[in-house]
Amino acid sequence: MSLRIVVCVKYVPDATGDRSFADDLTVDRDDVDGLLSELDEYAVEQALQIADEADDAEITVLTVGPEDAKDALRKALSMGADKAIHVEDDDLHGTDVIGTSLVLAKAIERAGYDLVITGMASTDGAMGVLPAVLAERLGVPQVTLLSEVKVEDGTVTGRRDGDTASERLEASLPAVVSVTDQSGEARYPSFKGIMAAKKKPVEALDLSDLGIEADEVGLAGARTVVVSAAERPARTAGTIVKDEGEGGKQLAEFLAGQKFI
Amino acid sequence: MAEVLVYVDHVDGAVRKPTLELLTLARRLGEPVALALGPGAEATAAVLAEHGAVKVLTADAPEFADYLVVPKVDALQAAHAAVSPAAVLLPSSAETKEIAARFALRTGSGLITDATDLEAGDDGPVATQAVFAAAYTTTSRVSQGTPVITVKPNSAPVEAAPAAGAVEALTVTFGELATGTKVVSRTPRESTGRPELTEAAIVVSGGRGVNGAENFGIIEALADSLGAAVGASRAAVDAGWYPHASQVGQTGKSVAPQLYIASGISGAIQHRAGMQTSKTIVAVNKDAEAPIFDLVDYGVVGDLFDVVPQLTEEIKNRKG
């Protein structure tokens, strides 16, 4: 039987650009180029490796986001995913992590799945909790923050490196897995992959397709309110010296003046 | 006065410092009621009482150790039902953020993660966060349910504030999902004898410029002269020179020590995301154009193999 893998990916503002907030204190997505969140590339890579090991597997890549978010799907398809689902709806503007998990869960259930794979966090919101919330929504095990993952005989196993210990985890499918940047280098799309991706199906869905009311998501449904957002004041210019043989001593002098020594 | 539920991060009864910092913040919002789970839960009561906990709810069961995250969510839910707190606060770690998030979903509550400060507001707690690699500071509040907020280490001082700290056993009923993810084995991280990276007052980090695992010894020597933790940039970790557990940056640890010393680190956005909120920043780098110098309070343009050992020597001399 085919192993159905859904990879959740996010289209995020490029972290090397000047990210900022719009007037409604949501992330400004107009002024900075977007791209597939780097951390999601690891999720796509692990999905491809798991699919390679399985007798028969199908990888669907799923995103929630504006029109441009198709770029993230195309990247994942060109890496080797089989098909894509794009959830787009004006009412999604300003959706928080709880709302996003609702949209993803509905789309995942609609598609059918044995395994959901995500990155460890997005590179914009960076909360790192979506996979856990998604598992709670779907009512399936979470096997999260894995630096190694393996799927065999309806079981997922992996290694989670925590603050105080490294753990070996095991759960039955269906399950939600998230992988870290330690899980293995993500492949670059080949020219052949890029050409093939153009022909792969991208299904477009909106909130009504998923049976979600507008006020369950977006700013209206968000359970948190951003009160203020301010650019961090630039640090006042520090002292910079060139080492001419006394650099270490000068630095020690500075640290002593600051009472660190 | 409103009660505020504080989730305790401890290892076999030894309470980790971020929880004590959290009690300082919790007292701004109300009376802290602590929740300690797993082996050694009761042993946490004395130190929690010293730092302001009026009550300590405890529960232990094999489920907490044998299965991932969800049993602790069940316990937090039971504590929430028992206390009806004005807010639920957790220290920010990978695991506690997941606990917080699942709990928030279950209870129809809003979630704020990685707060760096917390104040009482007219409509509930107002949390400060550093976002976009700390380029922006936001304040937010929760508008639905019980505010669930995780707070980063080093966000508040640890303050003594003796309170009753009466221990109460909490009854926890585990749900169907609790045993979904089995912890097959657990290997404790080997102690380096140095402070924990996210909790340390001083962090000394090495990057690409360290140029080899064998050279990290000079970074460690500097750290030891200051009683500091050792960090590494992603470049150094990816090169296999230092373990991932020590990585400072977006995909590693986020640190905010009193003093951060970056050696041979250029200051890419990945790294800045993890250290930009440090109070005092110092860098040593050969490249005068390295972006790290835009952040520093004091920078030395020079070869770290000359500057760092000289600095270590000078610190040792001054400390006599």
| Cα separations in angstroms, B114 against A105, A226, B88, B117, B274 | 25, 14, 14, 9, 12
| Angstrom distance (rounded) from CA B37 to CA B301 | 49
Mean pLDDT calculated for residue range A79-84: 98
pLDDT digits (tens, 9 = 90+) for B69-93: 999 999 999 999 999 999 999 999 9
Domain count, chain A: 1
Asked if the C-beta of B242 comes within 8 angstroms of chain A's C-beta atoms, the answer is no
The CB-based long-range contact list for B280-289 (8 Å cut-off, 24+ gap) reads B280/A258, B280/A260, B281/A235, B281/A238, B282/A251, B282/A254, B282/A255, B284/A247, B284/A251, B284/B308, B284/B311, B285/B209, B286/B209, B288/A240, B288/A242
* pLDDT at A17 exceeding the cut of 90: no
Q: Report the CATH number that the domain containing residue A86 is assigned in CATH.
A: 3.40.50.620
Q: Decide if A229 is inside a domain.
A: no
pTM for the full model? 0.95
Q: Are B202 and B229 in contact (CB under 8 A)?
A: yes
Asked if the C-beta of B300 comes within 8 angstroms of chain A's C-beta atoms, the answer is yes
* pLDDT at A15 exceeding the cut of 90: no
| Angstrom distance (rounded) from CA A55 to CA A226 | 48
Q: Where do the domains of chain B lie, and which CATH numbers do they carry? A: 3-179 (3.40.50.620), 202-319 (3.40.50.1220)
Q: Decide if A244 is inside a domain.
A: no
Going by C-beta distance under 8 Å and a sequence separation of 6 or more, which residues neighbour residue A30? A22
Q: Decide if A253 is inside a domain.
A: no
**Cβ–Cβ gap A243/B300 under 8 Å:** yes
**Cβ–Cβ gap A141/B113 under 8 Å:** no
Interface mutation target, options B152, B269, B298, B306, chain A, most CBs of A under 10 Å: B298
- Cα angle A120, B208, A11 (rounded to 5 degrees) comes to 30
> Which residues from chain B sit within 8 angstroms of residue A21, using beta carbons?
136, 138
Q: Give the chain B residue nearest A235 (alpha carbons).
A: B295
Asked if the C-beta of B229 comes within 8 angstroms of chain A's C-beta atoms, the answer is no
> Quick one: tokens of B216?
């990290």
- Cα angle A85, A35, A91 (rounded to 5 degrees) comes to 55
pLDDT confidence band for A1 (50 / 70 / 90): low
pLDDT digits (tens, 9 = 90+) for B271-298: 998 999 899 999 999 999 999 999 999 9
CA-based nearest residue to B132, from A118, A218, A16? A16
pLDDT confidence band for A232 (50 / 70 / 90): confident
Mean pLDDT over the full length of chain B: 96
Going by C-beta distance under 8 Å and a sequence separation of 6 or more, which residues neighbour residue A178? A43, A117, A118, A119, A120, A131, A142, A143, A144, A145, A146
Of B98, B141, B295, the CB nearest to A235: B295
Domain that holds residue A19: 3-221
Q: Decide if A129 is inside a domain.
A: yes
Q: How far is A91 from chain B (nearest CA, A)?
A: 19
SS3 A94: coil
Rounded to 10°, the helix B304-319/B216-226 angle is 20
Asked if the C-beta of B137 comes within 8 angstroms of chain A's C-beta atoms, the answer is yes
E strands, B207-258, are 229-232
**Cβ–Cβ gap A240/B298 under 8 Å:** yes
DSSP A5-19: EEEE--EEE-TTS--
Mean pLDDT calculated for residue range A142-161: 97
The pLDDT value given to residue A31: 75
Q: Decide if A250 is inside a domain.
A: no
* pLDDT at B207 exceeding the cut of 90: yes
Asked if the C-beta of A220 comes within 8 angstroms of chain B's C-beta atoms, the answer is no
The ipTM value here is 0.95
